[in-house]
Amino acid sequence: MTTQPSTLDAWCAELSQALGLTHDVALRPDVQLLLDLSRDAAHSVARPAAPLTTYLVGLCAGLAGGTPEAVQAASAIARDLALGTRPGTDTDGA
């Protein structure tokens, strides 16, 4: 079963408002990045690793300023660890 993007957008907007967040997470481009990271952690580590991984990435990114670049950097480290590659290295062998 695939979740429709509009469902995720609505959920993110509602949750962001309820949590008192000022950023509109539903419109940020890092949503797909976090969904992909969650999938990689669930499949490569263990299913319960998915929410824990995204929580830790969010915490790290928040402490680093909460910018999209901070989310991307923390996500790259977590993805590399989940996939068993060395953090910060190119995974295509180039």
Dihedral sign of CA atoms 20, 7, 1, 79 in order: negative
pLDDT tens-digit series, residues 44-68: 999 999 999 999 999 999 999 988 8
Judge whether 14 lies within some domain. no
Judge whether 43 lies within some domain. yes
Residue-averaged pLDDT of the chain: 83
Instruction: Quote the CA–CA distance of 72 and 49 in Å, as a whole number.
Output: 18
Residue range(s) defining the domain that contains residue 56: 27-82
pTM, to two decimals: 0.76
Q: Domain count for the chain, please give it.
A: 1
Judge whether 89 lies within some domain. no
Judge whether 60 lies within some domain. yes
Nearest CA-CA partner of 8 in 29, 31, 38: 31
Query: Per residue in 12-50, is it b (16+ CB within 10 Å) or e — as a string?
Result: beeebeeeeeeeebbeeebbebbeebbebbbeebeeebb
Judge whether 93 lies within some domain. no
Q: What is the mean pLDDT of residues 29-50?
A: 91
Phi (first) and psi of residue 39, to 5 degrees: -60, -45
Judge whether 78 lies within some domain. yes
